[in-house]
């Protein structure tokens, strides 16, 4: 059974940093691309970043230069390092995997507030 479990969210002041982690199980992790999405209150879920099995990265424009996605294939983990956080980054952040099915984690809350 495929499972994705996010962690690392919390409350941070504007300009601060957080690192999110997504632990995966039940798949051969190293052959799949992984992604992070987020959903703010009252808004649709939106793409943040993804990383291919070979390590190629893509980011949405509003996080370029601030967020970094990475993966550790030995540990079946994907990370999202978030720097220079802004109040508009406040959202629930989700880990996403697509095989022949779509898999989502339960999400981790990130709140950026003074």
**Per-residue pLDDT tens digits for 43-90:** 999 999 999 999 999 999 999 999 999 999 999 999 999 999 999 999
C-alpha 41 chain-centroid distance: 17
As beta bridge partners, residue 20 has 80
Q: How confident is the model at residue 11 (pLDDT cuts 50, 70, 90)?
A: very high
**Per-residue pLDDT tens digits for 16-38:** 999 999 999 998 998 999 999 99
Separation between Cα atoms, residue 9 and residue 55, nearest integer Å: 24
Give the residue among 100, 105, 99 at the shortest CA–CA distance from 80: 105
Give the residue among 64, 92, 91, 67 at the shortest CA–CA distance from 79: 67
Residue pair 104/2 in contact (Cβ under 8 Å)? The answer is no
């Amino acid at each position: 059974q495929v499972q994705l479990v996010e962690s690392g969210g919390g409350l941070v002041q504007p300009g601060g940093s957080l690192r999110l982690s997504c632990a995966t199980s039940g798949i051969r992790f190293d052959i799949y691309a992984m992604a992070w999405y987020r959903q703010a209150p009252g808004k649709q879920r939106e793409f943040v970043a993804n990383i291919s099995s070979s390590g190629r990265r893509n980011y949405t424009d509003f996080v370029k230069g601030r967020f970094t996605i990475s993966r550790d294939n030995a540990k079946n983990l994907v990370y999202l390092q978030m720097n220079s956080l802004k109040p508009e980054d406040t959202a629930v952040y989700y880990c996403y995997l697509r095989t022949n099915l779509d898999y989502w984690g339960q999400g981790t809350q990130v709140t950026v507030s003074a």
